[in-house]
Structure 1
Amino acid sequence: MGAVLAVVLAFSTGVGDPPPEHGAERALAELGARTQLAPGVTHRGLRTTAAAGQVLGDVVEVDLTDPTVHADLIMPGAIAARSPVADMANRSGATAAINGDFFDIGRTNAPSGPAVADGRPLKSAVPPGRRMGPLVPGAEIDSVFTVGTDRVARIDRLRLEASVHGPSGTHEVVALNQYAVPVNGIGIFTPAWGDVDRAPTLCGTDGDRTAPCAVEQAEVLVRDGTVVHEGRPGRGRIPDGELALTGREKGAAVVRSLEVGDRVDVEYELVPESGHWPELAVGGSPIMFDGTPVRGLDDRERAPRSAVGTSAEGRHMWLLTLDGRQSDSVGATLHELSKLLRELGVDDAVNLDGGGSSTLVLRDPGATAVTIVNDPSGRSPRLVPNGIGIYTGSSELAFSPAGYWSLTWGGGERGCPWECPAVPSPVGPSA
Structure 2
Amino acid sequence: MKILFILVFSFISIFPQVNVQETQITDGVIHKKIINQNDTLVINILKVDIKKPDLTIRSVKANELLNTKETTSQMVSRYKLSGFNVIAAINGDFFEADGEIISNMISNGEIVKAVKFSDSPFNSFTNSQFASDNEDNLFIDQFVFSGNLILPNGNVEEIRRVNSEADSNSITVYNHFQGKITPVSPKEWFVVDFVLFPLQTNGDTLIFITTAKTTLRNYEIPAQGIILSANNKFAYYLDREIKIGDTLKIIYNFSPKVKNIKSLVGGWPVLVKDGMNMIRRNPAIEGITEKFSEQRHPRSGIGFSSDKRTLYFITVDGRQQMSRGMTLLEFSNLMITEGIHFGLNLDGGGSTTLIINDKVVNSPSDLTGERLVGNCLMIVRE
Distance in 2 of aligned mates of 1:253 and 1:127: 26
Counterpart of 2:130 (choices 145, 160, 163) is 145
What is the match of residue 95 of structure 1? Answer: 87
One-letter identity of the residue aligned with 1:230: T
Q: 1:221 to 1:305 in 2, by over 3 A?
A: same
Q: Which residue of 1 aligns with 2:20?
A: 32
Matched-pair contact (CA < 8 Å) for 2:196–2:227: no
CA contact (8 A) 1:220 1:258 kept: no
CA distance in 1: counterparts of 2:45 and 2:283, whole angstroms: 25
Q: Is the 8 A contact 1:190 1:244 kept in 2?
A: yes
Query: Is 1:222–2:195 an aligned residue pair?
Result: yes
**2:205 is matched with which residue?**
none
1:374 aligned residue (362, 368, 379): 362
Q: How does 1:227-242 map to 2 (within 5 A)?
A: 227-234=211-218, 238-242=221-225
- Opposite residue 174 of structure 2, the aligned amino acid is F
- C-alpha spacing 1:40/1:345, structure 2 compared with 1 (3 Å): same
> 2:351 maps to which residue?
357
- The runs of 5 or more residues in structure 2 that have no matched partner are 1-11, 80-84, 198-208, 285-289
Corresponding residue for residue 190 of structure 1? 175
Identity %: 24
* Cα distance, 1:229 vs structure 2: 3.4
Q: Return the offset for 1:270.
A: 3.3
Q: How far 1:275 sits from its partner (Å)?
A: 3.6
| Alpha-carbon displacement from aligned partner over 1:188-244 (angstroms, at most 9, x marks no partner) | 001232247612xx5xxxxxxxxxx584251413134225131254166x1223321
Larger radius of gyration: 2
SS at match of 2:177: helix
CA distance in 1, matches of 2:295, 2:170: 36
Shift of 1:36: 1.4
Which runs of structure 2 are paired with 1:12-411 in the superposition (5 Å)? 30=18, 32-47=20-35, 54-75=40-61, 76-92=63-79, 93-106=85-98, 109-125=99-115, 127-128=117-118, 130-131=119-120, 135=122, 140-141=126-127, 143-156=128-141, 157-165=143-151, 169-178=155-164, 180-195=165-180, 198-199=183-184, 215-224=188-197, 225-234=209-218, 238-254=221-237, 257=240, 261=244, 263=246, 265-285=248-268, 286-294=270-278, 295-297=282-284, 298=290, 299-363=293-357, 370-378=358-366, 379-392=368-381, 396=382
* Corresponding residue number in structure 1 for 2:203: none
RMSD: 3.1
Instruction: Assess if the C-alpha contact under 8 Å between 2:174 and 2:226 holds in 1.
Output: yes
TM-score by length of 1: 0.70
CA displacement, residues 360-416 of structure 1 (integer Å, 9 cap, x when unaligned): 1110xxxxxx01111112213222222110012xxx5xxxxxxxxxxxxxxxxxxxx
Equivalent residues of 1:152, 1:314 under 8 A apart: yes
Q: Whole-Å Cα distance in 2 between the matches of residues 278 and 168 of structure 1?
A: 27
Q: Structure 2 CA distance, aligned partners of 1:388 and 1:113? A: 14
Q: 1:110 to 1:45 in 2, by over 3 A?
A: same
Return the alpha-carbon distance in structure 2 between the equivalents of residues 291 and 321 of structure 1.
19
Amino acid at match of 1:223: L
1:182 deviates by: 4.0
Q: Evaluate the alpha carbon distance shift between residue 262 and residue 276 of structure 1 in structure 2; reply closer, same or farther with a 3 A threshold.
A: closer
Alignment check: 8 A CA contact 1:215 1:249 kept: no
Matched-pair contact (CA < 8 Å) for 1:80–1:193: yes
AA partner of residue 160 (structure 1): S
Task: Output the amino acid matched with 2:326.
Answer: A
Structure 2 CA distance, aligned partners of 1:317 and 1:48?
A: 23
Q: Contact 2:169 / 2:231 at 8 angstroms: preserved in 1?
A: yes
Separation in structure 2 between the aligned mates of residue 43 and residue 308 of structure 1, nearest angstrom: 14
Say if 1:37 and 1:267 are closer, same or farther in 2 by CA, change over 3 A. Answer: same
One-letter code aligned to 1:362: I
Deviations 1:40-86 (A, max 9, x none): 11111124589xx6232211111113222111112322233222111
Alpha-carbon distance in 1 for matches of 2:250, 2:37: 51
Give 2:201's aligned residue: none
Q: Which 4+ residue blocks in structure 1 deviate beyond 6 angstroms?
A: none
8 Å CA contact retained: 2:130, 2:138: yes
Distance verdict in 2 for CA 1:334–1:71, change over 3 Å: same
Describe the SS at the equivalent of 1:198.
coil
1:162/1:268 contact within 8 Å kept: yes
- Distance 1:30-1:281 versus aligned 2 partners, 3 A rule: farther
Compute the displacement of 1:166 (Å). Answer: 5.8
Unaligned runs of 5+ in 1: 1-7, 11-27, 203-212, 364-369, 397-431
3-state DSSP of counterpart to 2:94: coil
Letter in 2 for 1:149: N
Alpha carbons of 1:217 and 1:47: their partners in 2 closer, same or farther (altered >3 Å)?
Answer: farther
CA distance in 2, matches of 1:31, 1:123: 42
Q: Structure 1 pair 324/247, CA: closer, same or farther in 2 (3 Å)?
A: farther
Aligned to 1:265, the other structure's residue is in SS state strand
Q: Aligned in 2, Cα 1:214/1:280: closer, same or farther, shift over 3 Å?
A: same
Q: For residue 112 of structure 1, what is the amino acid of its counterpart?
A: I
Partners of 1:255 and 1:377 in 2: CA distance: 51
